[in-house]
C-alpha cells in the first residue's frame, strides 16, 4: 500500500493500524514498518512521552497520521475504553497488532498473585478482547489484519520459573489459529508470530539482561526483521503460525516432535527464570526450598556454563515491572 496513491485517489481507503506496546521494542518497530507502508497509526502503551516521540518521528518521516492513546492493559476496562476513544476520534482499526507484554520471572508460588493476574489480563484477556472488538468490524468491511505476538515459548511444554509465560503465549497461538479459521472467507487474515530472543527492552524489564547478554549472537533476532516477517506473512495469509529465524524454526520443529512429557521432565531441571524480582515477591510463607537463584544467573537451561558473550550488549534500560514514564 503506497500512501501517495491512496491519498491522491481514494482517501477513504486509507488504512489504520492499532499497535499495542508501541512505545518500545517490537511494537515500535512495527509502527515504523507500517508507517513506511503507508498506514496511519493508533499507538498505545502506558508511556505517553515515548508514544508521542514515535508519533512525531513517523509523521515527520512519512506524513503518518499517528494518534496516541495511552492505556494500561492490565486494567480490565482498558480494551473497551480504548475502543471507545478510537470511535470518538472517528477512527477505525483495519490492522491490529496485539504486541504489549512482558515476562514475570520467578517460581509460580513465589510471585504475588496480582502480578500474575495482571500478566494474564494484558497477555491473554486484552489480546482476546481486542480481537473480539475489532475482528467483527474488520469482517463486516471485508478487510482486516490481526497480528498477535506470541513467542517460541508457546512450543515449550513446561518451564521451571516463569510458568505463566509459555502458558499465555500458547493461548495466543491457539486463539490466533482458531480466528484464522473462523475468518477464512471474511478477508481478515490472522497470524500468531513466534519470535525467539529479540533485541528490545523485554529482558531489561524482566531484570535478566546481564544473564541474557551471555547468549551467543546467533540466538538473537532483530525487531525489524521479526516485523517484516510478520507483515509479509499476514499479507500473504501464510501461517497462521509464523516462527522467526532459522534457529527457532528448527527449535519449534524439534519441540513438536519430541513428546511433551520428555521435555517437561528436562524443563523441570532448569532454573532459567527462577530469579524473582523483589517488587513481585509474595510474602515468604512458602516453606519448601528452591534452588538458588544465583545459580541460574550463571547457567544455561541445559545446565552447561554459559559461554562468554559475543554479542555486544545493547543499551539497557533500568526499569521496574511497573514502568515509569521515562520517555
What is the pairing mode between strands 66-68 and 95-98?
unpaired
Minimum CB–partner distance for residue 291 and ligand NAP (Å):
24
Distance between CA atoms of residues 3 and 87, nearest Å: 23
Cβ contact 116:108 at 8 Å: yes
Minimum CB–partner distance for residue 285 and ligand NAP (Å):
27
Q: Which of 33, 102, 165, 183 is catalytic?
A: 165
- By beta-carbon proximity to ligand NAP, the closer residue of 3 and 156 is 156
* Of 275, 306, 311, the residue nearest 290 (C-alpha): 275
Minimum CB–partner distance for residue 108 and ligand NAP (Å):
18
Distance between CA atoms of residues 316 and 246, nearest Å: 26
**With DSSP H G I counted as helix, E B as strand and the rest as coil, what are the percentages for the chain, rounded to 5?**
50, 10, 40
Minimum CB–partner distance for residue 37 and ligand NAP (Å):
19
Distance between CA atoms of residues 288 and 240, nearest Å: 42
39 class by beta-carbon count within 10 Å (0-12 exposed, 13-18 middle, 19+ buried): buried
Residues in the chain: 327
Minimum CB–partner distance for residue 222 and ligand NAP (Å):
11
Binding footprint of ligand NAP on the chain (CB under 6 A): 21-27, 45-47, 50, 71-74, 99-102, 122, 149, 151, 195, 197-198, 200-202, 205, 323
- By beta-carbon proximity to ligand NAP, the closer residue of 3 and 168 is 168
Distance between CA atoms of residues 148 and 21, nearest Å: 12
> Residue of minimal CB distance from ligand NAP?
25
- Is 95 annotated as catalytic? no
- By beta-carbon proximity to ligand NAP, the closer residue of 16 and 20 is 20
What letter does residue 191 receive in the DSSP assignment?
E
- By beta-carbon proximity to ligand NAP, the closer residue of 3 and 242 is 242
Task: Catalogue the active-site residues.
Answer: 165
Amino acid at each position: 500500500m503506497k500512501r501517495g496513491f491512496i491519498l491522491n485517489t481514494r482517501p477513504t481507503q486509507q488504512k489504520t493500524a492499532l499497535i499495542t506496546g508501541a512505545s518500545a521494542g517490537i511494537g515500535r518497530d512495527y509502527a515504523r514498518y507500517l508507517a513506511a507502508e503507508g498506514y496511519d497509526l493508533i499507538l498505545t502503551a502506558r508511556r505517553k512521552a515515548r508514544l508521542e516521540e514515535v508519533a512525531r518521528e513517523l509523521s515527520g518521516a512519512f506524513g503518518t497520521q499517528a494518534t496516541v492513546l495511552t492505556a494500561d492493559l492490565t486494567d480490565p476496562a482498558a480494551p473497551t475504553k480504548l475502543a471507545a476513544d478510537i470511535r470518538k476520534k472517528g477512527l477505525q482499526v483495519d490492522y491490529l497488532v496485539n504486541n504489549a507484554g512482558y515476562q514475570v520471572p520467578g517460581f509460580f508460588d513465589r510471585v504475588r498473585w496480582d502480578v500474575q493476574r495482571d500478566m494474564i489480563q494484558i497477555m491473554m484477556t486484552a489480546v482476546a478482547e481486542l480481537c473480539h472488538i475489532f475482528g467483527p468490524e474488520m469482517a463486516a468491511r471485508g478487510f482486516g489484519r490481526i497480528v498477535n505476538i506470541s513467542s517460541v515459548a508457546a512450543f515449550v511444554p513446561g518451564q521451571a520459573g516463569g510458568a505463566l509465560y509459555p502458558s499465555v503465549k500458547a493461548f495466543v497461538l491457539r486463539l490466533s489459529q482458531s480466528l484464522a479459521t473462523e475468518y477464512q472467507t471474511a478477508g481478515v487474515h490472522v497470524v500468531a508470530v513466534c519470535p525467539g530472543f529479540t533485541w528490545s527492552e523485554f529482558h531489561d524489564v524482566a531484570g535478566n539482561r546481564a544473564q541474557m547478554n551471555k547468549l551467543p549472537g546467533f540466538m538473537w533476532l532483530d525487531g525489524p526483521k521479526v516485523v517484516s516477517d510478520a507483515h509479509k506473512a499476514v499479507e500473504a495469509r501464510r501461517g497462521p503460525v509464523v516462527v522467526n529465524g532459522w534457529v527457532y524454526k528448527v527449535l519449534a520443529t524439534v519441540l513438536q516432535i519430541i513428546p511433551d512429557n520428555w521435555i517437561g521432565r528436562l524443563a523441570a531441571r532448569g532454573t532459567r527464570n527462577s530469579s524473582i524480582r523483589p517488587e513481585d515477591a509474595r510474602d515468604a510463607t512458602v516453606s519448601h526450598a528452591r534452588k538458588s537463584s544465583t545459580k541460574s544467573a550463571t547457567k544455561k537451561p541445559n545446565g552447561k556454563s554459559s559461554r562468554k558473550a559475543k554479542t555486544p550488549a545493547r543499551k539497557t534500560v533500568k526499569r521496574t515491572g511497573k514502568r515509569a514514564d521515562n520517555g
